[in-house]
Amino acid sequence: MPLLNLVVMLIVVGVALWLVNRYIPMASSIKAILNVVVVVAVGVFVLKAAGLWGDVTSFRIGH
């Protein structure tokens, strides 16, 4: 994925999350859960786009 597409996608997701947080009334606990889910999903997407997701999933602790 080209870097420009990745940056545009991050901006669009950020603006969409800001709009949801700003204009849709919901409990603060639900907002916090939504924010965490979106941040984790975007983090995984960025790792996959950069080709680093395999390194994360194959990481082993111990023997």
Nearest-angstrom CA–CA distance, 28 and 25: 9
- Per-domain residue ranges for the chain? 3-57
Which residue in 56, 59, 52 sits closest to 6, CA to CA? 52
Tens of pLDDT, residue by residue over 2-45, are 889 999 999 999 999 999 999 999 999 999 999 999 999 999 99
Q: What is the pLDDT of residue 24?
A: 94
Q: Comparing C-alpha atoms, which of 1, 9, 58 is closest to residue 38? A: 9
- Residue 36's pLDDT is 97
pTM score above 0.85: no
